C-alpha cells in the first residue's frame, strides 16, 4: 500500500486559492491571487528539496491538471521541475471521460473515493496531490490523506478557498517535519496517526 500526501500552500488564515499568480484562480470573485509571491522562490527551492526529489505519482483535479499541463508539458528538458512532473504518472479526477494530452496521464472517474482507495492499494511511489482544492475536500471527507505537507505563508487574506472547509472530518495528526524560511514561510509535515498505525 502506498501513501497519499497533499502538498499545499496556504495563508496564515488557511486560504489556498491562487497563491502564485494573480490570474491563477479568480472563481468566487477572488482578487488576491499571487499572495505568496514574496516568499515564492525560497519556498519552491524547499519544495523541490523536501517533496519532489524522490519518486512520486500525481493525483490532480481537472483544473490543476489543465494548469500544470499548459505550464510544463512543453517545457525544456533542462528544467528539473518540469522534467520530474512530465515523467511522473498523473491520475486526473474528472466527472466524465475526456482526452488527456499530457504524457503519462490517466483519467479517474465514477466513484472517486473508491477509485482512489484502490489506487492507494497498488504498488508504486507516493501519490502527491498539488493544488486541487475540490479534490482535497473529498479526500478529507473520506479520510484518504496519509500525510499533510503544508507551507504556511505569513499573510492574512480574509476570504477564499480554504484547505480545511466544513466537510473535514476529525482526525489526529503527528508533526514529523518542520522548518521555517528566512521570509517567515513555514514548512510543516504531518502524518495521520491512523495511517501510521495501520
Model pLDDT for residues 20-32, shown as the tens digit of each residue? 989 889 999 999 9
In the predicted structure, residue 65 carries a pLDDT above the cut 60:
yes
In this prediction the pTM is 0.91
Distance CA 143, CA 198 (A): 13
pLDDT band at 198 (very low <50, low <70, confident <90, very high): low
pLDDT tens digits along 141-192: 999 999 999 999 999 999 999 999 877 788 899 999 999 999 999 999 999 8
- CATH number, residue 140: 3.40.430.10
Q: What are the strands, taking DSSP E only, across 47-185?
A: 56-61, 90-93, 105-108, 126-130, 147-153, 173-180
Give the domain extent around 171.
Answer: 4-197
Split into its structural domains, the chain has a count of: 1
Provide, for the chain, the percentages of residues in helix, strand and coil under a 3-state DSSP scheme, each rounded to the nearest 5. 30, 25, 45
Amino acid at each position: 500500500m502506498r501513501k497519499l500526501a497533499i502538498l499545499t500552500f496556504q495563508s496564515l488564515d488557511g486560504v489556498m486559492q491562487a497563491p502564485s499568480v494573480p490570474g491563477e484562480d479568480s472563481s468566487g470573485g477572488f482578487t488576491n491571487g499571487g499572495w505568496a509571491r514574496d516568499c515564492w522562490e525560497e519556498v519552491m527551492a524547499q519544495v523541490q528539496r523536501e517533496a519532489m526529489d524522490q519518486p512520486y505519482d500525481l493525483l490532480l483535479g481537472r483544473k490543476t491538471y489543465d494548469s500544470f499541463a499548459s505550464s510544463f508539458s512543453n517545457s525544456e528538458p533542462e528544467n528539473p521541475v518540469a522534467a520530474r512532473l512530465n515523467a511522473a504518472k498523473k491520475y486526473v479526477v474528472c466527472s466524465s471521460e475526456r482526452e488527456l494530452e499530457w504524457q503519462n496521464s490517466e483519467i479517474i472517474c465514477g466513484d472517486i473515493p473508491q477509485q482512489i482507495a484502490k489506487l492507494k492499494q497498488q504498488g508504486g511511489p507516493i501519490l502527491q496531490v498539488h493544488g486541487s482544492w475540490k479534490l482535497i475536500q473529498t479526500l478529507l471527507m473520506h479520510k484518504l490523506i496519509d500525510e499533510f505537507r503544508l507551507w504556511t505563508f505569513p499573510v492574512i487574506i480574509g476570504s477564499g478557498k480554504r484547505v480545511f472547509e466544513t466537510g473535514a472530518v476529525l482526525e489526529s495528526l503527528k508533526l514529523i517535519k518542520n522548518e521555517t524560511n528566512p521570509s517567515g514561510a513555514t514548512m510543516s509535515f504531518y502524518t495521520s496517526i491512523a495511517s501510521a498505525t495501520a
